[in-house]
Amino acid sequence: MQKMTREALLEKARELLSSGKVSAVLGWKKGEFDYDVTPAVFDSVDALEDFVWGDFCGANLSKYLIKETKKHRVLVFLKPCDTYSMNQLLTEHRFEREQVHAVGVPCDGMADINLLRRKAGEGIVSVDSIGEEIKVETLYSDEPVIIDRREVLLERCVNCKSKKHAAFDELLSDAGEDSSSDRFQDVEKLESMTPDERFEFWQNELSRCIRCNACRDVCPACTCETCVFNNPSSGAENKAPVNSFEEQMFHIIRAFHVAGRCTDCGECARVCPEHIPLHLINRKIIKDMNAFYGVFQAGAEVGAKSPLLDYTVSDIEPGAVFDGRDHDA
Amino acid sequence: MPINEYKPLIVAFCCNWCSYAGADLAGNNRANYPCDVKIIRVPCSCRVNPMFILKAFQRGADGVILCGCHPGDCHYTSGNYFTRRRMAVLFSLLDFFGIERERTRVEWISAAEGAKFAATMNEFTKTVAALGENRRLEDLRCKK
Ligand code: SF4
Ligand code: SF4
């Protein structure tokens, strides 16, 4: 359960909507089930009835600001990690800051429905968070299953970047603190394998990709009006991958396009219907850039220059990159 | 030499101002390097989009090498500095996916370094030959 209550968010939304300070609220609403919470725009106080706030509000709302700020002045609820995406979008001049009223919501970590399913079983009809427990009712058992919330957190929440908002107009609670995590552990594990093992690992993962493009569509860094994957003459057009080239190509290009701009928000891995660990690809790039060009967190500051848009005369040579890690030669 | 001996296909992207002229000089000097190195001339090493490299592999290249002016000598002042960062990250990413790092390389070759051009190509071809054919990023439909 989130310590911050739905009522507190609603109160803020009602206040700003009725005072006319904003004409729309970006929040979350229930989908078909309690757990498939979806981003939503509320343009009246009455509409707010559907508003939800809880353990399944993982969706990062920043990307929706691009479209909504063209029509409205928007109140947006942002969790600490979401604010990095907003900053990055501002760095890229994707919308006007004045059009946004950003309300920082504290976050206690969001639940991963896939992990929950794995523990509680299929056929979930309702989920209910009480304290650190999630009560799950399924079609196939009479008794509700009780799951420890901490065991079903999203990967990105386990490796939480920060509980401190990077940008906001107002906070609903006291400012949070930076958290420390060991987010590069899995990347390191892969790095210590041989190229053959790594190839096999990725083939196993990537061959499941159905090119639904959900990872691109949800990514707050992927905001081009016309995407290279929609361009039939780019050679990377959208179609189901048929061999290891096409599988890898899509993922290499996707990750490389957001290199230096990816805030590691984890949305891509969250939405992938095939559960491909996409965050590992982005994190590999982040880890490399940190090591080569100094630690950089996209979205920590508006206007910061990405390492790939910059250089120094004494940068590391591409060949030298590998000399330091000859263990898998 | 047996006729069917495996010869790797190497794609070399060479910048117009330094490395392509370096290749020319290698030719003028009758320096030997394998004919399986296919040179593609680009205005600047920075012109090479990561997609070009992937496409080369798709079409059957076994190794891809990118040659440009020495850092500081770029005809466009800073193009190769960006290349250096971009390719360091890209090649490391390819390696992460299991495309052996020996298959990709960046080398700085000036217009006066014909000998270095030939030596680099000989050495690179040998390294790639030792790895064998690239099967990971090739697209069978592109093969004759
Ligand atoms: S969301 Fe997953 S399945 Fe869909 S395109 Fe991305 S990686 Fe492929
Ligand atoms: S690539 Fe993934 S982690 Fe990075 S910004 Fe996009 S959605 Fe977030």
> Tens digit of pLDDT per residue, chain A (329 long)?
898 999 999 999 999 999 999 999 999 999 988 889 999 999 999 999 999 999 999 999 999 999 999 999 999 999 999 999 999 999 999 999 999 999 999 999 999 999 999 999 888 999 998 889 999 999 988 899 999 999 999 999 999 988 999 999 999 988 888 877 889 999 999 999 999 999 999 999 999 999 999 999 999 999 998 899 988 888 788 777 878 888 889 999 999 999 999 999 999 999 999 999 999 999 999 999 999 999 999 999 999 999 999 999 999 999 888 765 544 43
A306 and A222 in one domain? yes
> What spatial distance separates the first Cα and last Cα of chain B, rounded to whole Å?
24
Q: How many domains does chain A have?
A: 3
Same domain, A198 and A302: yes
Same domain, yes or no: A236 and A135: no
Q: Print the domain residue range for A135.
A: 114-152
Contact A126, A119 (CB under 8 A): no
Residues whose CB falls within 8 Å of the CB of residue B87, separated by 6 or more in sequence, listed in order: A318, B66, B104, B106
CA of A313 to the centre of ligand 1 (A): 38
A161 and A106 belong to one structural domain: yes
Which of A191, A311, A328 should be substituted to probe chain B, the one whose Cβ sees the most B Cβ atoms within 10 Å? A311
Please indicate whether residue A281, judged by its CB atom, sits closer than 6 Å to ligand 2.
Answer: no
| Nearest-CA distance A39 → chain B (Å) | 33
B51 touches chain A (CB under 8 A): yes
Residue contact A252–B97, C-beta within 8 A: yes
Instruction: Identify whether residues A119 and A77 lie together within a single domain.
Output: no
Residue A174 burial (CB < 10 Å; 0-12/13-18/19+)? exposed
Q: Is A188 a member of any domain?
A: yes
A166/A44 same-domain check: yes
One domain, residues A79 and A187: no
- Are A119 and A108 in a shared domain? no
First vs last C-alpha separation in chain A: 48
Q: Within this chain, do residues A171 and A48 fall inside the same structural domain, yes or no?
A: yes
Domain match, A79 and A144 both: no
- How far apart are the C-alpha atoms of B46 and A236, rounded to whole Å? 20
The answer to whether position A77 is within a domain reads: yes
Residue A215 within any structural domain of the chain = yes
Return the CATH number of B10-142, one of 3.30.420, 1.10.357, 3.40.50, 3.30.70: 3.40.50
ipTM surpassing 0.90, yes or no?
A: yes
Q: Tell me which residues have their CB closer than 6 angstroms to ligand 1.
A: A 209-215, 271-274, 276, 278
Mind telling me how many Å the CA of B143 is from chain A's nearest CA? 13
Does some domain include residue A197? yes
Domain membership of residue A329 (yes or no) is no
Nearest CA in chain B to A200: B98
Summarize pLDDT for B39-55 with one digit per residue, the tens.
999 999 999 999 999 99
In a domain, A328, yes or no: no
Same-domain check for residues A33 and A161: yes
Q: What are phi and psi of A64, to 5 degrees?
A: -70, -15
- Residue B137 CA to ligand 2 center (angstroms) comes to 24
What pTM does this model have?
0.92
**Is A198 within 8 Å of B98 when comparing Cβ atoms?**
yes
> Of A252, A270, A282, A287, which is best to mutate to test ligand 2, by the most ligand atoms within 8 angstroms of its C-beta?
A282
The answer on A216 and A274 residing in a single domain is yes
